[in-house]
Amino acid sequence: MKTMLMALMILLFAASNHCFAMRDIAFLSKQEANKMGIQIRATAAGPDAAWVQLEFKPTGKLKDFSHVELEINDGEKMLVAYASLWEERLASGSIVVRFMANRIYLERVNLCVVAGIDAGYEIRLKEFVELERIR
């Protein structure tokens, strides 16, 4: 019985995962993002689409950078969530994440830069990208 209990404890410990932890989400303003070194650029990519690029150096609050998540919302309703966008690490030490989307939906896109297991910095694109300028 003792060995069975010990085996169960080891199994539970081995199977435990940080994904059940609560994450603190901070909504970033343009000023806060600039202080953290986060840059967002959007450029036209054809008649309806736009390329969006997020770039930053993993320093300060972002030193424990894990990944960038993408969400598309309709008001309070989540339409799409993508757990981890592909990142490129530049020789300069910067991290770049890019994606393309239809410009109509960019105002609904939020990006979350996850640092460590419990901190996320959410960026609402409609507050960072001048949609009229990329049309």
- As a three-state string, the secondary structure of 2-35 is HHHHHHHHHHHHHHCCHHHCCCEEEECCHHHHHH
For the chain, the domain total comes to 1
User: What is the predicted pLDDT for the residue at 20?
Assistant: 47
Q: How far apart are CA 64 and CA 99, in angstroms?
A: 22
Average pLDDT in the 91-119 region?
93
Average pLDDT in the chain:
86
Say if 85 falls within a structural domain.
Answer: yes
Say if 46 falls within a structural domain.
Answer: yes
Q: What is the pLDDT of residues 50-71, one digit of tens each?
A: 999 999 999 999 999 999 999 9
The parent domain of residue 40 ranges over: 21-134
Phi, psi for 131 (deg, rounded to 5) = -60, -35
Is the predicted pLDDT of residue 130 greater than 70, yes or no?
Answer: yes
Say if 100 falls within a structural domain.
Answer: yes
Residue 96 belongs to a domain with what CATH number? 2.60.40.10
Q: How far apart are CA 28 and CA 33, in angstroms?
A: 6
Q: For residue 130, give both structure tokens.
A: 């001048």
Say if 102 falls within a structural domain.
Answer: yes
Say if 65 falls within a structural domain.
Answer: yes
Say if 14 falls within a structural domain.
Answer: no
